[in-house]
């Protein structure tokens, strides 16, 4: 089966953001051309990000400033997917939430009932305002045996100047203190964010392709859940890294726009 045939049944591309569509605040060359090709061929996309330090509204505004047309400014974050999970799994119950101010406000808007002193479960996001007092409270609640949910597993978050510690580093800290890892992780490459993407789009997994620059999150998501997995070499992963990895994509392109001739 050639590349065009493999892409023929794909109705929606789940697009990672940083390293796939843009780098920091700079569009990757050809990204808008790729969206134009989706429009010409009657396809859609959903931007999918593990980064729960920002709200979906923040990312939608960023995409708008980059010139992304309205129909394509749809974003699903691991924070949104986590909020839907916990409000369904723990209806009416109170959460201890580890998150910055932006994400805390979004979680409240999405129906998460927050009570830092007397919670019934723990939900942690990528908290860019983390301090020792918060970590102590978090470890106390986890050590007490409360259900423990994390938005995503990433150890580092890419920036224009390198990397900063992400939620995976927080998870490791908590495990060192309490002996526990999260009971459930929502973001890529886990099921929670995929389930929410299916709900939002109304499509089947066979009609979706997961596109991204990270093997262990983006490509693993596609492989884990029966979606076409597409690696782009515009971000973290080099061709050499891909060749040495046990996680192999179905297709590999230099960047998004390299797919255009096959759509």
Structural contact between residues 209 and 16, judged by C-beta atoms closer than 8 angstroms: no
pLDDT score for 1: 76
Q: Which of 58, 59, 53, 60 is nearest to 82 (CA)?
A: 53
**What are the residue boundaries of the structural domains of the chain, listed by start?**
3-50+188-262, 89-185
**For 56, how many CA atoms within 13 A lie in the half-sphere containing its CB?**
18
Give CA 54 to chain center in angstroms. Answer: 11
Give the model's pLDDT for residue 159: 74
CA distance 201 to 196: 9
The CATH class, in words, for 89-185 is alpha beta
Give CA 229 to chain center in angstroms. 15
DSSP string, 54-90: S-HHHHHHHHHHTT--GGG--EEEHHHHHHHHHHHHS
Q: List residues bridging with 14 in a β-sheet.
A: 46, 210
pLDDT, tens digit, for every residue of 198-236?
A: 999 999 999 999 999 999 999 999 999 999 999 999 998
Cα 184 versus chain centre, distance? 15
**Helix (H) / strand (E) containing 201:** helix 191-201
Residue with tokens 């609640």: 141
Query: Is 89-185 the same fold as 3-50+188-262?
Result: yes
If you classify domain 3-50+188-262 with CATH, what class do you get? Answer: alpha beta
pLDDT along the chain (263 residues), means of 10: 94 96 93 98 97 96 96 97 98 98 97 98 98 98 98 86 90 98 98 96 97 95 97 94 96 98 97
């Amino acid at each position: 089966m050639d590349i065009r045939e493999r892409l023929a049944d794909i109705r929606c591309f789940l697009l990672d953001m940083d390293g796939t569509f843009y780098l920091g605040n700079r569009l990757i060359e050809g990204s808008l051309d790729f969206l134009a090709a989706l429009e010409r061929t009657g396809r859609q996309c959903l931007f999918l990000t593990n980064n729960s330090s920002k709200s979906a509204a923040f990312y939608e505004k960023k995409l708008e400033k980059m010139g992304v047309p309205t129909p394509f400014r749809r974003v699903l974050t691991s924070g949104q997917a986590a909020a839907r999970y916990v409000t369904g799994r723990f209806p009416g119950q109170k959460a201890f939430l580890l998150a910055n101010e932006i994400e805390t406000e979004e979680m409240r808007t999405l129906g998460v009932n927050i009570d830092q002193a007397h919670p019934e479960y723990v939900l942690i996001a990528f908290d860019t305002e983390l301090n020792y007092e918060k970590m102590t409270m978090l470890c106390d609640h986890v050590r007490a045996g409360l259900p423990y949910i994390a938005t995503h597993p990433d150890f580092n978050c890419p920036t224009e100047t390198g990397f900063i510690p992400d939620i995976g580093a927080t998870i490791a800290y908590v495990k060192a203190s309490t002996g526990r890892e999260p009971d459930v992780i929502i973001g890529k490459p886990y099921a929670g964010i995929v389930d929410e993407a299916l709900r939002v789009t109304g499509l089947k997994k066979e009609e979706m392709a997961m596109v991204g620059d990270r093997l262990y999150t983006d490509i693993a998501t596609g492989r884990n859940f029966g979606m076409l997995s597409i690696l782009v070499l515009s971000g973290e992963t080099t061709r050499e890294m891909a060749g040495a990895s046990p996680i192999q994509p179905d297709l590999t392109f230099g960047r998004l726009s390299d797919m255009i001739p096959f759509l």
